[in-house]
């Protein structure tokens, strides 16, 4: 697939200076609400804080990030918002809320008043009920998300793609982004299904993150196996593809932060150079409203 096939101009400047990391995490093992990662997660089983992120991101030219939840706990939500309030490089926060709880609409209303809050993320990928997001119990919370102009990060696997299409048709005004390209099977099994389902979701206006793919590679695979998947995402999401490091989870693939970014820059520079500014900055800024006006100052305890 050539750059010209994307409508790009050969020789154009590939990367803007203001790179936005649209997906990174932090955690502290000492937090009483910490559940993941556990001791079996190798290099992830230690504290990763905002300064740790800055120490690897800033040398790579990354200026700010979207901080994404890692625990299914309201206490983590409050902790992340507190961190963001004191960290200029955190441009937005995506948190966890129990969408099925009767208090969810009130909590979402409170969240919407927090300066850097951008959206919520239910951890769908390992739920036994693949159709949980379609439950009528979630309607009050989803209406609240729509009413307050917040976004939903969809942490899914390919088995959720048909459900997500039904969900999108039911909630067409909710800003929706697929994390990690829906974690496709990198062995190639189910590639056509994944590609066609992602195409339908793109047609429905859904956004997607170019993130987390290295950790889906089978053991012993090299980066070349990623090429058809990234090429597909570049084709399907021309103006709604957001780069994210998925740091520190990317370390599980044996990739440093800089290597993760360098791989993405190289393949985008080769296949879609004039879209680099969108993929590495503009799309995240647009989707999460990072350049929009603030809402209400200060943090309130609920």
For the entire predicted model, the pTM comes to 0.91
Q: Is 70 exceeded by the pLDDT of residue 291? A: yes
Q: What's the sign of the alpha-carbon dihedral 229, 235, 239, 240?
A: negative
Query: Helices then strands (H, E): number in the chain?
Result: 10, 8
Q: 92-112: per-residue pLDDT in tens?
A: 999 999 999 999 999 999 999
Tell me 218's DSSP state.
Answer: P
In angstroms, the CA 73 to CA 96 distance is 7
Q: Is 60 exceeded by the pLDDT of residue 10? A: no
In which band, very low, low, confident or very high, does the pLDDT at 184 lie, cut at 50, 70 and 90? very high
Query: Please, what are the domains in the chain?
Result: 14-288 (3.20.20.140)
Q: 211-270: per-residue pLDDT in tens?
A: 999 999 999 899 999 999 999 999 999 999 999 999 999 999 999 999 999 999 999 999
In angstroms, the CA 238 to CA 150 distance is 22
Q: Is 90 exceeded by the pLDDT of residue 25? A: yes
* Residue ranges of E strands in the chain: 19-24, 62-68, 90-95, 117-120, 151-154, 175-178, 207-210, 241-243
Structure tokens given for 220: 């012993």
Structure tokens given for 76: 């983590």
Residue located via tokens 């693939």: 253
Average model confidence (pLDDT) across the chain: 91
Residue 99: Cβ within 10 Å count: 23
In angstroms, the CA 302 to CA 9 distance is 51
Distances (CA, A) of 32 to 35, 68, 75, 199, 274: 9, 18, 9, 41, 46
**Three-state DSSP state, 90:** strand
Any bridge partners for residue 66, and if so which? 92
pLDDT of residue 300: 29
In angstroms, the CA 98 to CA 105 distance is 10
pLDDT of residue 292: 67
Could you tell me which of 271, 250, 249 has the C-alpha nearest to residue 260? 250
In angstroms, the CA 191 to CA 185 distance is 7
In which band, very low, low, confident or very high, does the pLDDT at 91 lie, cut at 50, 70 and 90? very high
Q: E strand or H helix at 193, and its extent?
A: helix 191-203
pLDDT of residue 301: 29
In angstroms, the CA 196 to CA 38 distance is 35
Radius of gyration, CA atoms only, the chain: 18
In which band, very low, low, confident or very high, does the pLDDT at 188 lie, cut at 50, 70 and 90? confident
In angstroms, the CA 126 to CA 275 distance is 33
Q: State what percent of residues in the chain have pLDDT above 70.
A: 91
Any bridge partners for residue 50, and if so which? none
- Cβ–Cβ < 8 Å for 109, 144: yes
């Amino acid at each position: 697939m050539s750059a010209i096939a994307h409508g790009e101009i050969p020789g154009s400047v590939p990367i803007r200076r203001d790179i936005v990391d649209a997906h990174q995490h932090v955690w502290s093992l000492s937090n009483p609400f910490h559940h993941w990662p556990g001791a079996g997660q190798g290099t992830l089983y230690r504290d990763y804080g905002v300064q740790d992120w800055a120490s690897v991101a800033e040398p790579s030219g990354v200026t700010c990030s979207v901080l994404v939840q890692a625990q299914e706990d309201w206490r983590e939500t409050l902790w992340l918002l507190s961190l963001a309030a004191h960290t200029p490089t955190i441009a937005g926060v995506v948190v966890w809320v129990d969408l099925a709880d009767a208090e969810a609409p009130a909590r979402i209303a409170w969240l919407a008043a927090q300066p850097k809050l951008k959206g919520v993320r239910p951890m769908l990928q390992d739920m036994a009920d693949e159709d949980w997001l379609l439950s009528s119990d979630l309607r009050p919370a989803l209406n609240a998300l729509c009413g307050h102009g917040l976004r939903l990060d969809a942490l899914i696997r390919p088995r959720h793609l048909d459900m997500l299409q039904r969900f999108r048709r039911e909630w067409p005004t909710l800003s929706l982004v697929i994390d990690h390209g829906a974690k496709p099977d990198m062995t190639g099994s189910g590639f056509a299904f994944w590609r066609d389902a992602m195409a339908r979701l793109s047609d429905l206006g859904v956004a997607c993150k170019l993130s987390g793919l290295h950790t889906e590679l089978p053991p012993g695979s090299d980066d070349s196996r990623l090429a058809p998947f990234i090429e597909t995402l570049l084709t399907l999401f021309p103006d709604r593809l957001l780069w994210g490091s998925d740091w520190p989870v990317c370390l599980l693939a044996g990739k440093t932060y800089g290597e993760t970014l360098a791989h993405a820059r190289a393949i985008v520079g080769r296949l879609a150079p004039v879209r680099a500014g969108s993929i590495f900055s503009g799309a995240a800024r647009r989707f999460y409203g990072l350049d929009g006006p603030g809402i209400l100052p200060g943090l309130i305890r609920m």
